[in-house]
Chain A
Amino acid sequence: MTPASTDSVLQPIAITGMALLTPLGDTPDSLAASLAARRSAIEPVKDMAGVGAAVIKDFEATRYANVRGLRLYNRPTRLAICAAKLALVDSGIEAAGLPKEQLGVLLASTFGHMETLLEYDRSLVTAGIQRTNPALMPLAIPSAPGAALALSFAAKAFSITLSDGGVSSLDALGLGSRLVEGGRARACIVVGTFSACQDLMLAASRAGLLGSASTPRVFDRRRNGTSFGEAAAAVVLERVEDARARGVEPKAYLRGQASTFAGEPEAVESALRRASTNALRSAGIAADEVGLVSAGASGTAGADAAEARAIIGVLGAAAPRTPVMAIKGNLGEAMDASGLLQALSAISAMRSGKAPPILGLEDPEVPGLRYLEEETDVDARHALVTSVSYEGACSALVLSRNP
């Protein structure tokens, strides 16, 4: 059979627009400055003892986007719309007159509908069927945030929602690249959004996933759980020739992506290693060419150590010298938005030549990696982004400064 699955080299895809909304900044530059300054957004959650979260304060959607129906949508949907709008503006593609039939949206959202579904369902139980709000149900299904995005931007090429938990947005970047490369859209907004409603936070806390109310101890021997972080992040993907044709210099290039699954915790290391190796191979980039790793470690008991060992396995002899950054000590676990945040932070570091320190790491459990302790000069042409979901899904992404 030809070509074998892992030998396929993907065409580079241009990232022409970038945007994010986080508690530590609403532009890639302002977030990078906050990360460099070792700021943490984690604060204790009111009425939930011992639980912390990073929440965007004073979020006013209308400051970022003016689209019809915005006030009807729930918070994660509004965050997604605003991030998508900012990325579109950043790409300049709307001004370039892109036909709406050529604009697609890929949304990473596993829980973006949940608060609305709970509201609808509880009203059914407490008030009865005749008192339910019929306008609420269409907004309560998992595809609703994606429908709102399609409507907001008249994205007629497609609107797709991927619900792959913590690896959603890396998977979405991979699928988005394939769709753009295959000509399904001239431009694709890939957006991830996460805002934990009270019930999700309670459930995660009672499941033992959430740690103390302070900064998660990422990669640290004493880690005891993570905190949720609210965020949305978006990029605009185009074929390199299309970006060039309209005279735009891409911010970075998406070179490879691969996903794997570990059926048990012991298999996470090998599964993430396989995803990373496959992503590098599809990018045609050797492990020792990776100049920066943006890790998904979040301070939970399970996956951080496996992720560290997988990265060591992938980088081999280059492991002790390759800088590793991890942003969840600052921002918490932003689930469906996290992979995009990791990717955007890596792009900022590649472009500025400065990578941020890992907050909350004092005593690495797995030695052998160059965990960044302070803001560090980096000269990275290629970056590897890694993530592991609670379910055991692993995803890896390869980014490059140049095509």
Chain B
Amino acid sequence: MRRRVVITGCGVVTAAGTELEPFWANLMSGTCFIGPARHFSVPGMDPLTGSEVELTEPDSLEQDARGGRCAQLTLAAARRALADAGLRPQAKELAAAGVAIGTTLGEERQVGDLSDRWPATGTDSVDGGFFSRSDNHRLATLVARKHGMGGPTLVSATACSSGNAALAWAYELVSSGGADVMVAGGADALTRSIYTGFLRMGALSKTICHPFDKRLDGVSFGEGAGVLVLEELEHARSRGATIHAELAGYGISNDAYHITAPDPNGEGTVAAIRQALASSGTALEEVSYVSAHGTGTPYNDVAETRAMKAVFGERARQVPISSIKSMLGHTNGAASAIEAVACTLALRHQAVPPTANLTEPHPECDLDYVPLRGRAMPVSACLNLSAGFGGFNVCVVIKRAP
């Protein structure tokens, strides 16, 4: 028998806030946090645009000699999620708890540092620490080490659906009895390989991203992390934890279509949504809100709109769907984990966040994208969509606490 999995803690570090309530208020106001990037550089390029996190102590101190920017973001979000769950470091409940972290590029900046030294020093630039610093598994093990967690430590890469995927693996472990508590989410720093790659492919916005808008011309990037504490229902109840929501199930698919482009008809997204609904025992009519992948590229936003129509049929226009990437930019592997936190907060506040920068919809985007300002409304079940380069689709269902 499958065990029920609940969310007992949330943590985010984003440009829109590093504590839950300010983060939520900023999202609801439709404020865009994409601007000049100051802590990130690309050789030969200036200025750069993105959303950046301002970390202060003690988060800035988390960047010890063993962790780069991505680990720092992960640790900061995990610390918040565990505190929100009422789990102190080294708490006995954590002794067998595990960590699952998804990332698109992980510690890519370690490679950048090496490359910067390469022209002058060649192979001498390769230091012994590079082997462990570039090992993305450390995004999970650093969290486990810091908090005294002795369970599974998983790091997974499914490009920009990595955050949702990590939630899915944590769900698998908790629901099947492999763990009682998992700390799960996603993290990415701004990385120059993705930034320049999108620029060269013509997929980087020339201004700021405009998901679902007539002006949609590409992605803006951001950095951040979102981490959730997932827990078996009775385990959470027995320790008196506050249960924020239920992670009721997930769906997964691969387009197997192209190394970068999504299937134009969104068939993989449709398959993931349908599987997520079946897996979570959720009827279509129960879905109150859809958190879109909504990157601001024509490829994605049009395909995602088509997928919504294929799944919801006539009802598609009545289901609010929004993209908080309009405010945070695309935080890659962190995005769907941050969006999962937003879904959890939507259930708490009975309101849904907006799509900012949306004043005139794209002709092929004709759903209710909750333009410009958040909206108070009854929320009982959220679909959290994500997709990534390489056709990776993962959809997670987050429902009202049981």
- Could you say which of A143, A157, A174, A208 contacts B158, with CB atoms under 8 Å apart? A143
Tell me the nearest residue of chain A to B148, going by C-beta: A263
From B43, B137, B165, B199, give the contact of A164 (CB < 8 A).
B137
Question: Could you tell me if A143 and B389 are in contact, using CB atoms closer than 8 angstroms?
Answer: yes
The answer to whether A160 and B192 have CB atoms under 8 Å apart is no
With A160-B165, A261-B151 in contact, do A110 and B115 touch (Cβ < 8 Å)? Answer: no
Chain A residues near B155 (CB-CB < 8 A): 110, 162-164
The answer to whether B141 and A391 touch across the interface, beta carbons within 8 angstroms, is yes
Q: At the interface, yes or no: A393 with Cβ under 8 Å from chain B?
A: yes
Of the residues B43, B137, B162, B197, contact of A143 by C-beta under 8 Å: B162
Contact across chains for A118 and B254 when beta carbons are under 8 A apart: no
Given A138-B259, A148-B259: A114 and B134 interface contact (C-beta under 8 Å): yes
Chain A 211-230, CB-CB to B under 8 Å as 1, else 0, gives: 00000000000000000000
In the assembled complex, the CB of A65 is this many whole angstroms from the nearest CB of chain B, namely 16
**Is B296 interfacial (CB-CB < 8 Å)?**
no
Cβ–Cβ contact B150 & A263, under 8 A: yes
Residue of A nearest to B123 (CB): A202
Bound-complex Cα distance A49 to B169 (A): 42
Q: Does A59 contact B (CB under 8 A)?
A: no
A137, B197: Cβ atoms closer than 8 Å: yes
Contact check, A132 vs B200: say whether CB atoms are below 8 A apart: yes
In A136-186, the 8 Å CB interface with B consists of 136-144, 146-148, 150-151, 153-165, 168, 171, 174-175, 178-179, 181-182, 184
Known: A1-B235, A158-B252, A161-B158. A259 touches B153 (CB 8 A): yes
Q: How far is the CB of B156 from chain A (nearest CB, A)?
A: 5
Chain A residue, CB-CB nearest to B2: A182
Determine if B192 and A124 form an interchain contact, defined as CB atoms under 8 angstroms apart: yes
**Which of A3-11, A294-302, A324-332 lies at the binding interface?**
A3-11
Task: Determine if A258 is an interface residue (Cβ-Cβ < 8 Å).
Answer: yes
- Is A195 an interface residue, CB under 8 A from the partner? no
**Residues of chain B from 75 to 117 with CB closer than 8 A to chain A in the complex:** 96, 98-99, 103-106, 108, 111-112, 114-116
Asked whether B119 lies within 8 Å of A125 as measured between CB atoms, the reply is yes
Bound-state Cα–Cα, A280 to B400, Å: 36
Q: Please state if B254 and A263 are interface contacts (CB–CB under 8 Å).
A: no
Known A-B contacts A132-B200, A164-B154, A261-B153; A110 and B172 likewise in contact (beta carbons under 8 Å): no
Question: Given A118-B115, A159-B254, A184-B252 in contact, is the A141-B157 Cβ separation under 8 Å?
Answer: yes
A371 → chain B closest CB, angstroms: 28
Q: Which residues of A contact B3 (CB under 8 A)?
A: 1, 3
- CB neighbors of A among B125-156 (8 A): 126-132, 134-138, 140-141, 144-145, 148-156
Chain B contact-residue range equals: 35 or more
CB distance from A5 to the nearest CB of B (A): 5
Task: Say yes or no: A147 contacts B43, CB within 8 Å.
Answer: no
Task: Mark out the residues of chain A between 359 and 400 whose CB falls within 8 Å of any chain B CB in the assembled complex.
Answer: 389-393
- Are A261 and B152 in contact (CB-based, < 8 A)? yes
A33 contacts chain B at the CB level, 8 A cutoff: no
Q: Please count the residue pairs between chain A and chain B whose beta carbons lie under 8 angstroms apart in the complex.
A: 285
* Contact, CB under 8 Å: A118 / B111: yes
Closest chain B CB from A158 CB (angstroms): 5
Task: Indicate if the CB atoms of B177 and A150 lie closer than 8 Å.
Answer: no
Partner of B128, one of A110, A121, A207: A207
Q: Which residues of B contact A141 (CB under 8 A)?
A: 104-105, 157, 159, 193-194, 389
Cβ contact within 8 Å between B271 and A147: no
> Which residue of the partner chain B has the closest CB to A1?
B234
Interface of B is mostly: mixed
Chain B residues contacting A111 (CB-CB under 8 Å) are: 134-135
Bitwise interface map of A from 229 to 269 toward B, beta carbon under 8 Å scored 1, else 0? 00000000000000000000000000000111111100100
Q: Which residues of B contact A204 (CB under 8 A)?
A: 128, 131
Shortest distance in angstroms between B142's beta carbon and chain A's nearest beta carbon? 9
Q: In the complex, which residue of chain A has the Cβ closest to the Cβ of B172?
A: A178
- Who on chain A is nearest to B260 by CB? A138
Could you tell me which residues of chain A, from 68 to 120, have a CB within 8 Å of some CB in chain B? 69, 100-101, 105, 109-111, 114, 117-118, 120
Whether the pair A209, B131 counts as a contact (CB closer than 8 A) is yes
User: Contacts A125-B115, A142-B157, A143-B104 given: A150-B391 contact, CB under 8 Å?
Assistant: yes
Q: Name the one of A5, A151, A157, A171 contacting B180, with C-beta atoms under 8 angstroms.
A: A5
Q: Which of A125, A181, A263 is the one whose CB lies under 8 Å from B43?
A: A125
Q: Which of B180-234 contact A (CB under 8 A)?
A: 180, 192-194, 196-201, 232-234
Contact status A156-B255, CB under 8 Å: yes
Bound CA span A101–B194, Å? 29
Quick check: B135 and A8 within 8 Å, CB to CB? no
Cα A253 to Cα B42 with chains together (Å): 50
B residues less than 8 Å from A267 (CB atoms): 150
Please give, as numbers and ranges, the residues of chain A lying within 8 Å of B180 by CB-CB distance.
1, 4-5
A390 to B66, CA, bound (A): 13
| Contact among A5, A124, A207 with B178 in the assembled complex (CB-CB below 8 Å) | A5
- Given A121-B115, A143-B159, A164-B154: A206 and B126 within 8 A (CB)? yes
Given known A142-B104, A164-B153, A165-B137, contact A1–B238 (CB-CB < 8 A): yes
For the complex with contacts A128-B44, A140-B197, A271-B150, 9 further pairs of A-B residues with Cβ separation under 8 Å are A146-B390, A155-B254, A158-B253, A163-B157, A178-B178, A203-B131, A206-B127, A263-B150, A389-B137
Name the 6 nearest CB pairs between A and B, nearest first.
A147-B390, A137-B197, A8-B177, A1-B234, A207-B128, A206-B128
- Contact residues of A with B, CB < 8 Å? 1-8, 10, 69, 100-101, 105, 109-111, 114, 117-118, 120-122, 124-126, 128-129, 132, 134, 136-144, 146-148, 150-151, 153-165, 168, 171, 174-175, 178-179, 181-182, 184, 198-200, 202-209, 258-264, 267, 271, 274, 282, 389-393
B interface, CB within 8 angstroms of A = 1, 3, 42-45, 96, 98-99, 103-106, 108, 111-112, 114-116, 118-119, 123, 126-132, 134-138, 140-141, 144-145, 148-159, 162, 165, 169, 172-173, 176-180, 192-194, 196-201, 232-235, 238, 252-260, 268, 271, 275, 388-392
